[in-house]
Amino acid sequence: MDAQTLVDERGELWLALAPLWLEREPRETDYARMVAVIQRHDLTVRELEWVFRLELAPVLARHQMSVAGEWRSFDDYKLMKQLVAHNLRLNGWRRKSWALFSGLTTMMTRHRWNELMGRVLVERGEMP
């Protein structure tokens, strides 16, 4: 898959979910936007979990761990470049490694992710 295809298929979703890693708790408007974007992408909860764990967390967790980093907001262009570069390399042993260590890269945002998935399930008319 090439970079433009990644941006076309995942870019909106990635940028919508990025606030899960900001230093502030997402607002109601943030959650509402995330749910709306997720609904447009028509992914299962399981597929969304893998987007969270493999496509986003390895890149965004670095922003949280950086002492010098600013994570009150993201530069969308810079973030998209980082996400595309990561995802272009995400195959074979890299995918397996990130899957193995995804608990570490998601632990600081897991509570937010669980809240979001509960809202997605309610929006879909399923039980959270």
Q: Helix, strand, coil proportions of the chain in percent (round to 5)?
A: 75, 0, 25
Q: What is the C-alpha to C-alpha distance for residues 126 and 109, in angstroms, rounded to an integer?
A: 23
Count of residues in the chain: 128
d(CA 66, CA 99): 22
Q: Which residues of the chain, if any, have pLDDT below 50?
A: 67-69
Per-residue confidence (pLDDT) for residue 62, from 0 to 100: 83
pLDDT score at 85: 94
pTM of the model as a whole: 0.88
- Tell me what pLDDT residue 75 has: 84
pLDDT of residue 24: 85
